[in-house]
Amino acid sequence: MVAPLLLWLFAVTVRRDHTPLRSGCGDDERVVAHLAAGTRVEIRFAIADGSGCYKVQAGELAGYVAGQDLAGLDEFDRQRRAGGRVSEAASPTPITVPTQAPALRKNIAVHTTDPQLARASQLIDANQPREALDLLAPELREHNPDPNALMLAGLAAYKSDDVRGAIDYWRQSLTEKPNPQLEAWYEQVERERKADDSSDKLYGYRFQLRYEGTSVPADVARAMLPVLDEEFTRISAELGCPSNDRIPVIVQSREAYLRTTGAAEWSGGQYDGRIHVALVEGNAIGPETRRVFAHEIVHACLANLGRWPSWLHEGLAQKLSGDVLSETSQSELKELIQRHAAPKLENLTDGWSHMDAARARVAYHLALAAADALYDNYAAYGITNLLRNPDRLPQVTVELDRKLGL
């Protein structure tokens, strides 16, 4: 198993007052905020193009800062050159970020009494974007389409991995009606499009694969599709995943993955309506690649079944991809629980992508322990049945908290 690409927190701080936090690395990029000297920041990742630019998180703010404006980078860069590795005992798996699709959908609110638009919104939430686009097509052909229809069409195009189409729809919507939340997403997705060189495509039964031809040979990409289908079949039998539209999968080099997704350095994969995966075994398709695919397929499956808290997403994704808590990790988690230093499951809902590496490790270990307890308690009842009855989840969460000693 590949060791986790997990970097510890270092004391990286801002050197001078009024340091610009920008939306990108260029001097002409929009300034998100100005940081005071001494502000502690978390390094998300370093841009490896020689520009000396870093993606950082400062509280709730995220953006790019020039390395010359940061103090304490020597140790970070030393660990980064060494691979940022930690022991198997410290963290059993490369960590992946929980779905961002609900956050996108929540922040872009659509208020409409039009039954067609309401239905399209439901189809997008159910990860049936192509059907949503078909439903919206008559409105989109009008001379002055409804801005809400254009907004929804952009969401559907994005989930279909038509990023350029999404940007076009959102640009039209913003021209007709300003929307700060949509504008923020428009800018983020536009940056993703400019940074993404993955253009080669393959189509399978349940997946459409987009990959970097310079990093992934065509024969390796073709071999990924049956692996994805096998894992989907196995996970669907366990959870009851609906199979509607093909699920987009984007496979990139690790550097390109971090650059286009904006994920934290410790991230190994993401699901945002599309599965994003960083290459973990070079050009081989071994057990680690299969494990990462399985992890993200669980996220896609659960997203198709409804809205679920992050602890359930991450717990089931780890368990069904074969992860097991080591004895050392179990002991560390038990000690945290005894000290009342571990959060309850009900507090592990969203926002994991903003966690630092240490807190993320605890959250993932706790989620996996909760998934183990879930199977212990409800295997006879059936996890599928539980997922079909989401009204039971609050009570189940309380019972799992009690079983784990939280």
**Structural domain count, the chain:** 4
The answer to whether 275 and 296 are in contact (CB under 8 A) is yes
Q: Roughly what angle, to the nearest 10 degrees, separates helices 393-404 and 357-378?
A: 110
Sign of CA dihedral 202, 207, 211, 217: negative
d(CA 307, CA 112): 21
pLDDT digits (tens, 9 = 90+) for 164-210: 888 899 999 888 888 888 888 788 788 778 777 777 888 888 898 99
The answer to whether 56 and 47 are in contact (CB under 8 A) is no
CA angle 376, 379, 380 (to 5 degrees): 120
Examine residue 338 and state whether it is found in any structural domain, yes or no. Answer: yes
Mark which of 139, 172, 195 sits at the end of a domain: 195
Examine residue 50 and state whether it is found in any structural domain, yes or no. Answer: yes
Examine residue 29 and state whether it is found in any structural domain, yes or no. Answer: yes
Examine residue 226 and state whether it is found in any structural domain, yes or no. Answer: yes
What is the per-residue pLDDT for 95?
35
Confidence bin at 265 (pLDDT 50/70/90): low
Strands 61-66 and 70-71 come out as: unpaired
Mark which of 86, 113, 135 sits at the end of a domain: 86
Please indicate, yes or no, whether residues 111 and 189 belong to a single structural domain of this protein. yes
**pLDDT mean over 328-338:** 90
d(CA 218, CA 225): 11
**Rounded mean pLDDT of the chain?**
80
Q: What does DSSP assign to residue 24?
A: S
What is the per-residue pLDDT for 382?
78
Please indicate, yes or no, whether residues 207 and 253 belong to a single structural domain of this protein. yes
**pLDDT mean over 292-304:** 91
Confidence bin at 96 (pLDDT 50/70/90): very low
- Identity of the amino acid at 46: A
What is the per-residue pLDDT for 231?
94
Please indicate, yes or no, whether residues 296 and 206 belong to a single structural domain of this protein. yes
Examine residue 4 and state whether it is found in any structural domain, yes or no. Answer: no
**pLDDT mean over 2-27:** 67
Please indicate, yes or no, whether residues 223 and 207 belong to a single structural domain of this protein. yes
Please indicate, yes or no, whether residues 182 and 153 belong to a single structural domain of this protein. yes
pLDDT of 111 higher than 80: no
The CATH number linked to 176 is 1.25.40.10
Strand partners, 271: 275
Please indicate, yes or no, whether residues 183 and 203 belong to a single structural domain of this protein. no
Please indicate, yes or no, whether residues 301 and 211 belong to a single structural domain of this protein. yes
Strand partners, 34: 20
**pLDDT mean over 320-333:** 91
What is the per-residue pLDDT for 89?
29
Please indicate, yes or no, whether residues 157 and 222 belong to a single structural domain of this protein. no
pLDDT of 5 higher than 60: no
Examine residue 228 and state whether it is found in any structural domain, yes or no. Answer: yes
Examine residue 5 and state whether it is found in any structural domain, yes or no. Answer: no
Confidence bin at 230 (pLDDT 50/70/90): very high
In this structure, of 105-119, 144-158, 263-277, the range with the lowest mean pLDDT score is: 105-119
Mark which of 140, 167, 195 sits at the end of a domain: 195
d(CA 406, CA 254): 36
What is the per-residue pLDDT for 234?
94
Q: Which domain holds residue 286?
A: 198-305
Of all residues in the chain, the percent with pLDDT exceeding 70 is 82
Please indicate, yes or no, whether residues 296 and 377 belong to a single structural domain of this protein. no
In this structure, of 77-81, 322-326, 354-358, the range with the lowest mean pLDDT score is: 77-81
Confidence bin at 57 (pLDDT 50/70/90): confident
- Identity of the amino acid at 45: F
Question: Which residues 6+ apart lie within 8 Å of 134 measured at CB?
Answer: none
The answer to whether 269 and 211 are in contact (CB under 8 A) is no
The CATH number linked to 50 is 2.30.30.40
For the full predicted model, state whether its pTM sits above 0.75. Answer: no
Please indicate, yes or no, whether residues 71 and 164 belong to a single structural domain of this protein. no
Dump strand ranges (E) for 36-190: 40-46, 53-58, 61-66, 70-71, 95-97
Please indicate, yes or no, whether residues 66 and 32 belong to a single structural domain of this protein. yes
Examine residue 91 and state whether it is found in any structural domain, yes or no. Answer: no
